[in-house]
Amino acid sequence: MRLFILLLSAVTSFSAAQTMINDKIVIAHRGASGYLPEHTIPAYTFAVAQGADFIEPDIVMTKDEELVILHDIYLQSTTNVNEVFPNRQRRDSNYYAADFTLAEIKKLQVHERIDTASGKTVYEGRFPLDASYFMVPTFREFLEFVMGLEKSTGKLIGIYPEIKAPAFHKTNNLPIVENTLALLDSFGYRKKLDHIFLQCFDKDVLRAIKEEMHSPYPLIQLIGENAWGISSTDYDLLMTAEGVKEISDYAVGIGPWINQITDDKGYATQFFSHIQSSSLLIHPYTARRDDLPNFTKDFDSLLETLFIELDVDGLFTDFPDVASKFLQNRVKQAHHGT
Ligand code: G3P
Ligand code: CA
């Protein structure tokens, strides 16, 4: 299979190959999070400077209904909340963003992600834990930042927001979906549909955005594992041929976990073939130089497997510089016929 794909790519003409590679997108996962604390304006700035096509904010909501950029619905893995607000955790020991006002969250400092049990950074070689000063941005600040940079550079910057845990927010009476869509509308994204994808792990929410709220934003169905317990969506069902067909009704693409589209040798899974047989885009998550899947020996080989052999349309990565350079080199090689 791999040999066949390699032979096929060798005989692909220059122009076809160039178009194919040029169409692929690099999505800076939580900003250039391999270099700077995730979901901070410096991490997004660095990602844009490194050539990312899209930058990814995960969105959660505060007690006073402000949208903030955080990966987790709680604060303790990436901020000093336990120092600033001791005793504000719930019984499960989590400090939920939904229990804090924006003014309170703005008092926190963001740091590199830690494992809260050990207090150590999750990725040892990344930005040092106690260096510099970072804050939690609001989604509005993020959009203002994008707009400002688009004006000063004259270039459009793609955004790829994810609505986190909509069911949790609903239970807490927080209108995260409605407010996210309203803010995007107010920043003119209905006229920038080539520069936005909206993603979520929750199938019912994506369906509602399309079919009940009639929102025009291109939707990406993220695929988790049922064992993760992140939503009531049945991912085993969505990964069948029928499931993929259903996704085509409301989404333009799928964001699978890399381990769901590759087997332990890096070959395509049946789920991948189902997506490939559809018209859906494939944007897998997450390519990390410092956390490689078992089947690959280095980051370039992983990029080769995903971008070239599996021919995915885009990739979430913590290292947008390496992925962008990889694609640029492929365009150059195609140009020189090598
Ligand atoms: O949204 C794509 C990818 O970011 C999903 O994983 O957990 O990093 O949000 P997560
Ligand atoms: Ca995400």
Domain with residue 221: its CATH number is 3.20.20.190
Q: What per-residue confidence (pLDDT) applies to 239? A: 98
**Whether residue 58 has its Cβ less than 6 Å from ligand 1:** yes
Q: What per-residue confidence (pLDDT) applies to 4? A: 43
Q: Mutate which of 55, 196, 205, 222 to test ligand 1's pocket (most atoms within 8 Å of Cβ)?
A: 222
* CB environment 2-41: b (16+ within 10 A), e (fewer): eeeeeeeeeeeeeeebbebbeebbbbbbbbbbbbbbbbbb
State whether the Cα torsion 149-151-152-154 is positive or negative: positive
Q: Is residue 139 part of a domain?
A: yes
Using DSSP, how many helices (H) and how many strands (E) does the chain show? 15, 13
What number does the ligand 1 atom closest to the CA of 162 have? 1
Q: Is 221 exposed, middle or buried (0-12, 13-18, 19+ CB in 10 A)?
A: buried
Q: Is residue 200 part of a domain?
A: yes
Q: Is residue 237 part of a domain?
A: yes
**Whether residue 255 has its Cβ less than 6 Å from ligand 1:** yes
**Whether residue 54 has its Cβ less than 6 Å from ligand 1:** no
Ligand 1, atom 2, lies closest to the CA of 285
71 tagged catalytic: yes
Q: From the CA of 286, which ligand is nearest? A: 1
Mean pLDDT split into 10-residue runs, the chain, 338 residues? 44 48 95 98 98 98 98 98 97 98 98 96 95 96 98 98 98 98 98 98 98 98 97 98 98 98 96 98 98 96 97 98 96 80
Q: What per-residue confidence (pLDDT) applies to 338? A: 66
Crossing angle for the helix pair 139-153 and 41-49, nearest 10 degrees? 30
Q: Is residue 108 part of a domain?
A: no
29 tagged catalytic: yes
Q: Where in the sequence is the domain holding 265, given as residue range(s)? A: 25-74+133-326
When divided into structural domains, the chain yields a total of: 1
C-beta of residue 137 within 8 angstroms of C-beta of residue 40 = yes
Q: Is residue 34 part of a domain?
A: yes
Q: Is residue 68 part of a domain?
A: yes
- Cα 321 to its chain centre, rounded Å, is 16
> CA Rg, the chain, in Å?
20
Q: What per-residue confidence (pLDDT) applies to 21? A: 86
Q: Is residue 16 part of a domain?
A: no
Ligand 1, atom 3, lies closest to the CA of 285
**Whether residue 60 has its Cβ less than 6 Å from ligand 1:** no
Extract the tokens encoding 257: 């976990």
**Whether residue 162 has its Cβ less than 6 Å from ligand 1:** yes
pTM of the model: 0.94
Q: Is residue 114 part of a domain?
A: no
Ligand 1, atom 6, lies closest to the CA of 285
Residue 223 vs residues 18, 33, 175, 289: alpha-carbon distances, Å = 29, 21, 23, 22
